[in-house]
Chain A
Amino acid sequence: MKSFIEYIASILKGLWTLLVGMKVTAKYFFTPWNHVTQQYPENRDSLVMFERFRGEVIMPHTENNEHLCTGCGICEINCPNGSIEIISKSILTPEGKKKRIIDQHIYHLGMCTLCNLCVKACPTGAIVMGQKFEHAVWDRALLTKVLNQPGSKIAEGVKE
């Protein structure tokens, strides 16, 4: 008798769990405004990528054309596939001291796997991940970018 009751109970419990699952999918089905599909080329104007999306490595500049990069080369060391090349140069500060600064932060987008290691390693937070994802070009050379803008300089007060 006990096993019979267990048998019946298992049937009812099984049916109940099936109904729970069906309730979840029914909720998805009857709330079409929650669908996650993006109609991409049509919604290009209004498309906003989410914050954590990794599209490319960029170096933000202020309106005074200042960035935070010290040219230390840690990102270059951390890059697993050599997508970053740092070319630095020496200048003389007004106090007469020799100082190494960034000349060109070269970034090969074509080789980059967007692993985010350079951004994590950067001690000054000079490089971040950008949200742009339309990178198709006709010439492979266009994928090699210089991240620091021409004539830019390091912002005041960045610790070496």
Chain B
Amino acid sequence: MAFNIYDFTTLTHSIHVGLAESFSPVVATTIEWVIVGVSYLLFVALFGLFLVYAERKVCAAFQQRLGPMRVGPWGLLQTIADFIKLLMKELIMPRKADWFLYNLAPFIVIIASFMAIAILPFAPGLQSFDFDIGIFYLTAVSSVGVIGILIAGWSSNNKYSLIGAMRSGAQILSYELSVSLSLLTMVIFAGSMQFSTIVEGQRDAWFIFSGHIPAMIAFIIFLIAGTAETNRGPFDLAEAESELVAGFHTEYSGVKFAMFFLAEYINLFIISAVAATVFLGGWMPLHFGNLESFNHVMDFIPPVVWFFGKVLFVIFVIMWFKWTFPRLRVDQILTLEWKYLLPINLVNILLMALVVLTKFHF
């Protein structure tokens, strides 16, 4: 089995050939589906646990604390212990909750996250499907999650849950616009919605550098709107602890709560991964015009490391936002979106179109 850390196409191809030789096409395809599904599940579970740990450590460092230190060295096993605790907890349902919707909601939220994660290119060959309306698909499925949140708030039969869900709905519907428009800016620049083409287009320079001013404005807008879309601080109105207990998942416990919790961190990963892919070059190494030796050194670092390095950088910035800024009020959130981000975004798209038309880019 050929394994190459720089290009996974040989590995996936050899697996495919091996399976096709020993099984009928239908069985081989099914086995491939299962393999892909299990690897995504494993990745999401492990990365989610890591993100929870990272969040607690980063938050602690921003507040001059140490964070979890007791379970395992430097508290590394803390989230695993927490997860086991969550799995063993009793599932409590409010007496007058809507049984069907109450149990359905966590799955909608987490399925929406899984659908969005499927399109991301991790490295050459490490992308489960790649089609020509990738970004369009991503914006479409990432807004499905809000339905799950609304259902969760409605079916819990709890006023805090309902208020949290409604706030979340208003917020995500508004910021969806900014996320899509800032991605659209980059689509204009890249000339494609397909993720592989977008990444390939950044071989010489990442879009945030080659697109200069409009790309940077789009990046900032994407970071702000993306933070809001994941319901994270300073836009965590939907689960404002001091006002709404825990927002839409107040009435959930045990595994169902864990699903909401995990989905929140997967969404954080997705937003960061999209920012890294569209603006920071995805798995492409850092290349500068004609510095041959520098580019060559950068090529030695595997694409997976580049991708996760960029993703972790964006995640760190978003965590930095969360632990620095105070929470916005509902009216402030809507003002920020409709009076600031949206007009700037529209002007920025025009600017980007001008840049592309006049070829005033690198």
A residues with CB within 8 A of B: 11, 18, 21-22, 24-26, 28-29, 32, 34-37, 39
Decide yes or no whether B128 CB sits under 8 A from chain A. Answer: no
Decide yes or no whether B64 CB sits under 8 A from chain A. Answer: yes
Q: Find chain A residues with CB under 8 A from B321 CB.
A: 22
* Contact, CB under 8 Å: B63 / A28: yes
- Majority SS at the chain A contact face: helix
Task: With a 10 A CB-CB cut-off, give which of B64, B65, B321 has the most chain A CB atoms.
Answer: B64
Cα A37 to Cα B62 with chains together (Å): 12
Q: Closest CB-CB distance, B207 to chain A, in whole Å? A: 21
3 A-B pairs closest in CB distance: A37-B66, A25-B324, A25-B62
B residues with CB within 8 A of A: 58, 60-66, 69, 320-321, 323-325, 340, 344
* Contact, CB under 8 Å: B61 / A35: yes
**B325 CB contact (under 8 Å) in A21, A26, A28:** A21
* Contact, CB under 8 Å: A22 / B344: no
* Contact, CB under 8 Å: A11 / B344: yes
* Contact, CB under 8 Å: B65 / A36: yes
* Contact, CB under 8 Å: A22 / B65: no
**A28 CB contact (under 8 Å) in B61, B66, B69, B344:** B61
Cα A24 to Cα B326 with chains together (Å): 14
Nearest A residue (CB) for B69: A39
- 23 A-B pairs within 8 Å (CB atoms) are namely A11-B340, A18-B324, A18-B325, A21-B325, A22-B320, A22-B321, A22-B324, A24-B324, A25-B62, A25-B320, A25-B323, A25-B324, A28-B61, A28-B62, A29-B62, A32-B61, A35-B65, A35-B66, A36-B64, A36-B65, A37-B60, A37-B64, A37-B66
Cα A143 to Cα B85 with chains together (Å): 37
Beyond the given A21-B324, A35-B64, A36-B64, please list 11 additional residue pairs across the A-B interface where CB-CB is below 8 A: A18-B324, A22-B320, A25-B62, A25-B323, A28-B62, A28-B63, A29-B61, A37-B60, A37-B65, A37-B66, A39-B66
Task: With a 10 A CB-CB cut-off, give which of A25, A26, A36, A39 has the most chain B CB atoms.
Answer: A25
Cα A140 to Cα B60 with chains together (Å): 37
Q: Find chain B residues with CB under 8 A from A32 CB.
A: 61
* Contact, CB under 8 Å: B64 / A34: yes
Cα A35 to Cα B325 with chains together (Å): 20
Q: Find chain A residues with CB under 8 A from B65 CB.
A: 35-37
Q: Closest CB-CB distance, B211 to chain A, in whole Å? A: 19
Q: Find chain B residues with CB under 8 A from A36 CB.
A: 64-65
Cα A25 to Cα B58 with chains together (Å): 11
Cα A32 to Cα B320 with chains together (Å): 15
Cα A11 to Cα B324 with chains together (Å): 19
Nearest B residue (CB) for A18: B325
Q: Find chain B residues with CB under 8 A from A34 CB.
A: 64
Task: With a 10 A CB-CB cut-off, give which of A24, A32, A34, A35 has the most chain B CB atoms.
Answer: A35
Q: Find chain A residues with CB under 8 A from B69 CB.
A: 39
